[in-house]
Amino acid sequence: MKTLILGRTLTMDADPFHAAPETCATWREAGGVLVEDGIIAAVGEADALRAAHPDAAVEDMGDALLSAGFVDCHVHYPQTAIIGAWGKRLIDWLNGYTFPEELRFKDPVYARAQAETFLDLLALNGTTTACAYCTVHPESAEAFFAAAQARGLRMVAGKVMMDRNAPEGLCDTPERGAAETRALIEAWHGVDRLQVAITPRFAPTSSDAQLAAAGALAAEFPDCPVQTHLSEQPDEIAWVRELYPDDPDYLGVYERHGLTGPRAVMGHAIHLTPREHAHLAATKTPVAHCPTSNTFIGSGLCDVAGLKAAGIPVGLATDTGGGSSFSMLVTMRAAYEISQLRGAPMHPAQLMWLATAGSAGALGLGDRIGRLAPGMEADVIALDLRATPALKARAERSENPWHGLFGAMILGDERCVSAVWSGGRRLR
């Protein structure tokens, strides 16, 4: 069956960090996206697509903007219930909120309920793919994958590996963490639209033996992504120096265990040494930029412009629940504000790239999702750029399409998301 989705279309054609942003996208005021068997078959002018495919079912979204679905490349689904809790520093946040909540995920019934809520919130906000941390319990990952599979979603997730500096009920062992991750890979990786990520939480909660086990898994399953945290706060970095005094720096711990490279996504990467920066660039190790989390927990201002100038892949992430919103539009606003504070304000094309194609590329999925283009999976969203009175007033004064979209990035939230398709299936 063919479906023709009509509206204004935005196609990101090239990385706007490496070319003039205004030249990196194609806008169509009366456009359409032809979907066939869950894949984008064509993107073009509405009249031409209608004439060429008279048998296609039509979903007319009016003047809504059709875009690739948002891709959140770093998020903690078990923290859904604690988002917005009173902010503390990172270690206090983990001990005071995160770890007590994560202890509940040993119960598969609770885990499934939270997974459903989390995926509902993603759909509400137009996020069609996320790279999620589960808890140390394999039950939490099983619940997440089952819920995502039932919805036909493209999702990446992993069971956290953690064997020290955490409550006893949240610790595994190097052997058990590796065995449980292997079992998840064998059960879920590559099934439908799902991928399993090898997930050592971060260096302070994994022993040398556990990081070695994670590295061995990464070598054995090279198509599995790796996700972890890097250089989020100065006191965290100092803790890593105490725990791993023989390594040159925080990234050096992961480097020694084979946990860097194009398939490894480093969350945050704010306070980098020159050596770390150079290694990320040389190995094309992606970074997940988490602006609402970085401001909410007081971590710092990530140098996205510097990372991109060095050729380091960067995606955008909510990092909920340390992050303060499930909305990628709100996250784009925070990213823009941080870029202003760093003296390198981002163009709306750059923000949109980070939230779609940039995050997809960081996850190794840039050939499948993140852009409206023939052959890509049909993850599509419709954005109402006049969803609120303030947005309507702003839209009436917009001088060009980028100004209208930027208004939604600064003033918008889930109210701007009027429809979502995942793999061609309408979710809302």
Residues 106 and 25 placed together within one structural domain of the fold: no
Q: For the domain that residue 6 is a member of, what is the CATH number?
A: 2.30.40.10
Rounded CA gap, 174 and 181, in Å?
Answer: 11
pTM for the full predicted model = 0.97
Residues 380 and 274 placed together within one structural domain of the fold: no
Residues 203 and 273 placed together within one structural domain of the fold: yes
Q: For the domain that residue 248 is a member of, what is the CATH number?
A: 3.20.20.140
Residues 179 and 49 placed together within one structural domain of the fold: no
Domain final position from 362, 395, 412: 362
Contact 318, 290 (CB under 8 A): yes
Residues near 176 by Cβ (< 8 Å), separated by ≥ 6?
none
Q: How many of the other CB atoms lie within 10 Å of CB of 145?
A: 25
Contact 81, 121 (CB under 8 A): no
Residues 376 and 313 placed together within one structural domain of the fold: no
Query: How many residues does the structure list for the chain?
Result: 428
Rounded CA gap, 371 and 67, in Å?
Answer: 7
Euclidean distance between the first and final Cα of the chain, in Å? 19
Q: List the structure tokens of 98.
A: 């995160």
Question: How many domains are contained in the chain?
Answer: 2
The pLDDT tens digits for 95-118 are: 788 888 999 999 999 999 999 999
Residues 60 and 91 placed together within one structural domain of the fold: no
Domain final position from 337, 362, 387: 362
Q: List the structure tokens of 252.
A: 């050096």
Sequence letter at residue 127: T
Q: Give ∠ CA 8-9-12 in degrees, rounded to 5.
A: 150
Residues 83 and 221 placed together within one structural domain of the fold: yes
Residue 34: which domain range? 2-68+370-426
Sequence letter at residue 364: G
Instruction: Provide the percentage of residues in the chain whose pLDDT is more than 90.
Output: 93
Residues 417 and 305 placed together within one structural domain of the fold: no
Helices (H), 363-418: 389-396, 401-411
Residues 24 and 76 placed together within one structural domain of the fold: no
**Phi/psi of residue 83, nearest 5 degrees:** -60, 140
Residues 344 and 250 placed together within one structural domain of the fold: yes
Per-residue tens of pLDDT for the chain, all 428 residues:
899 999 999 999 999 999 999 999 999 999 999 999 999 999 999 999 999 999 999 999 999 999 999 999 999 999 999 888 876 776 777 878 888 899 999 999 999 999 999 999 999 999 999 999 999 999 999 999 999 999 999 999 999 999 999 999 999 999 999 999 999 999 999 999 999 999 999 999 999 999 999 999 999 999 999 999 999 999 999 999 999 999 999 999 999 999 999 999 999 999 999 999 999 999 999 999 999 999 998 999 999 999 999 999 999 999 998 899 999 999 999 999 999 999 999 999 999 999 999 999 999 999 999 999 999 999 999 999 999 999 999 998 888 899 999 999 999 999 999 999 999 999 99
Domain final position from 362, 386, 418: 362
Residues 49 and 87 placed together within one structural domain of the fold: no
The pLDDT tens digits for 64-77 are: 999 999 999 999 99
Residues 77 and 118 placed together within one structural domain of the fold: yes
